[in-house]
Amino acid sequence: MRGMIYQPPMQKMEDDIMRVWGIIDDLNLILDMIGEDEFFGDLPAKHADKLCNILIGVKEMSDYKLNLLWDNYEVSLRDYYKYKRTHDNKE
């Protein structure tokens, strides 16, 4: 794989998690579009409300799951470096 730079596995995992977290920004953008874009202007208010409520639910659920994932990542990171320090000192 030419041109790729080595990235430690825990750093790569952190970058991957942060990249996935972008879904929250994407959902916020979609919510703004529904509220502000003239394309959605003809959408009946009750349909727009229902759609926004669904998207807000997905956003909140995704954010909650990502926070749980981040908490697990931090525990794994701590354990990884604790193991690495112990293991590296034995060599």
Q: Over the stretch 4-58, which tens digit does the pLDDT of each residue have?
A: 788 888 899 999 999 999 999 999 999 999 999 999 999 999 999 999 999 999 9
| C-alpha closest to that of 10 among 91, 64, 79 | 79
Q: How remote is the C-alpha of 15 from its chain's centroid?
A: 10
- Enter the pTM of the model: 0.78
* Placement of tokens 């929250």 in the chain: 24
Query: Under a CB-based contact definition with an 8 Å cutoff, are residues 35 and 49 in contact?
Result: no
Burial of 86 (0-12, 13-18, 19+ CB in 10 A): exposed
